[in-house]
Amino acid sequence: MKAALTTMALALGCAGCGSVSPILTSAMSNMNVNEMASAVSKGHQLIEGPREMSQADEVALGSGIASNMLGAAPLWQDKKAQRYVNQVGLWLALQTERTDLQWHFGVLDDPELNAFAAPGGYVFISRGLLLRMGSEAELAGVLAHEIAHVVRRHHLNAIKKASDRALWADLGGKGASMLSQGTSMGKYKDLSPALAKLATAGTELYVRGLDKGDEFEADRMGVVIAARAGYDPYGLPAVLQTLQALNPSTGGLALMFRTHPAFSERLDMLAQIMTGEFDRFEKQPALAARFKANVALAKTR
């Protein structure tokens, strides 16, 4: 596994060496996703995933799950922070092979410390976790971890395993014909009965959590994606260290402890693989000042 990650690191080339792309810097004032996409090499591919479900179905399923989650915790009413998190998230997503997805990023108005993704490109981070961070590289590390779940289709595969096989088979081959046109976040009613049932199963998955192997793989891919985007790849380990230092009984940590491997395990795994080739990415920026300007000051706003 270490060899596999080293191979991915070698493939990074100079995609983001030295600094975050100027495209992202200019995007802070006027983001143009199409221009960003055209600036990213289409030749890199991190991982191939299963193709049994059409992308239209995957997106609709993720929309239903995201709608359920937003019903439990609304989006944080801080437009500046929301826009910033979306800009960082979109730039990271463009470092993967799934640039064809219409990615959505959001900050939930929730003091809990958590982040999660849903199939089809839906990624959320809680206000509580966001305000515990100290730099854009840390934010990028967490978002890249969640992006990796989508790229690798972890939740989709877990739902497939947990759901009734007859129901899953019923989805096969029907593709977008099962869906109402224009399904989007917050339109759970637009899902077909079959996909609605899967969306319910997918929402329940967030209470149980993914397999340890999926979380470890998302950590490995996350640091690679962050490095490719031009960030200090040690942002994710920094967040894990922050969380590890908190008392397990700290309010808001219960769900993360229950649904993720121990922080010590994740840090040990990353320590084993983030050597050698990763050293050359250490000097990439953390962008603490920009993070503070867009998010950290929200504590006092």
pLDDT at 50: 39
Measured CA angle at 270 (ends 272, 5), to 5 deg: 80
List the alpha helices (DSSP H) in 110-247.
127-130, 136-151, 154-162, 165-171, 193-208, 212-228, 235-245
Write the pLDDT tens digit of every residue in 127-141.
999 999 999 999 999
Can you give the residue ranges of every domain in the chain?
Answer: 51-296
Going by pLDDT thresholds of 50, 70 and 90, the confidence category of residue 205 is low
Kindly state the average pLDDT of the residues 124-128: 94
Measured CA angle at 219 (ends 216, 225), to 5 deg: 145
| Residue whose C-alpha is closest to residue 261's, from 145, 94, 166 | 145
pTM: 0.74
Going by pLDDT thresholds of 50, 70 and 90, the confidence category of residue 33 is very low
Going by pLDDT thresholds of 50, 70 and 90, the confidence category of residue 297 is low
Do 83 and 63 touch, CB atoms closer than 8 A?
A: no
pLDDT above 50 for 47: no
pLDDT above 70 for 40: no
Pairing type for strands 104-108 and 122-126 reads parallel
Range with lowest mean pLDDT among 79-88, 264-273, 274-283: 274-283
Query: What string of DSSP letters covers 189-217?
Result: GGS-HHHHHHHHHHHHHHHH---HHHHHH
